[in-house]
Amino acid sequence: MILLNEIMNKLIYILIFGCCAFAGGVCAQWQESSPEAFSKLILETESRIAANTSYSFATDYFFYNQPDSRETVLKMHGQMICEKGKSYFMNQFDRWNAQDDKLNVTCDTAERVMILKDVDTQSNARKQTADFSAFIKSGCKVKQQETTGLTKFYLEFAPGGTYKAVEIWIKPDKLVERYILYAGQAIEEDTPDGGTRMITPKLEIHYRDYKFGKEVPVKNMRRVSEFVELRDGKYILTPAYQGFELIDLRIQKR
């Protein structure tokens, strides 16, 4: 499942190269857990969606200046549609990403850039127990909390890194509800009055409107063919995107 691959790839990178360590400071209701328990539930979550099944979900992004702030500074929305576990379309941060069995295309509507890449064969690959071995051996401390209708995991990273901690909330039906990423360092930000201030950002991603099988709105997918077409062995922009810059990052050029 693309959602879980994205989450786990980020987590494994941070945990292994960031030297994960639990530094305390988490509220009392969190209980000691283990990387094995976390990995087991993630695998159960992935198996919730059968292979070669179409699925979709919507995402809401909430950006905060401080980890305890309740006032958002930016809200954005996204969507993910996967057809039969293969072709997919993702709308995220003013970028449209489409993939079929031959090409991966990212259309950056803000920068007016079209980026071609080789097919990401791992995007739909199923995680196996062995994929978590490095994460389990990292010795990361994990906290777990059981609340009404939710299982929450809290992983805190080594001090001084880019990220301080991450939370993942999983519903009883084994679907991810929320992903929260806490910055590890304060950064300086310009203010409207010409001054500066220090902020420690937090990002929350809320997942909703899961659909499966025939309920998936595949008609809303933007296909690779909407952005580029193959002509004389070379990909060119379709008429609707003639004003975009085309960047070909494929390793195997066709």
Q: Do 23 and 156 contact (CB within 8 A), yes or no?
A: yes
The band of 161, judged by pLDDT with boundaries at 50, 70 and 90, is: confident
For residues 146 and 247, membership in a common domain is answered with no
Q: Distance between CA atoms of 136 and 134, rounded to whole angstroms? A: 5
For residues 15 and 104, membership in a common domain is answered with no
Q: Please give the mean pLDDT across all residues of the chain.
A: 84
Q: Looking at residue 45, what is its pLDDT?
A: 86
Q: Residue 43: which CATH number?
A: 2.50.20
Would the CA dihedral through 127, 128, 131, 133 be positive or negative? positive
Q: Looking at residue 80, what is its pLDDT?
A: 95
For residues 144 and 250, membership in a common domain is answered with no
For residues 14 and 102, membership in a common domain is answered with no
Domain of 109? 92-123+223-254
For residues 155 and 242, membership in a common domain is answered with no
For residues 198 and 133, membership in a common domain is answered with yes
For residues 155 and 58, membership in a common domain is answered with yes
Q: Looking at residue 28, what is its pLDDT?
A: 40
Q: Looking at residue 139, what is its pLDDT?
A: 64
pTM here? 0.81
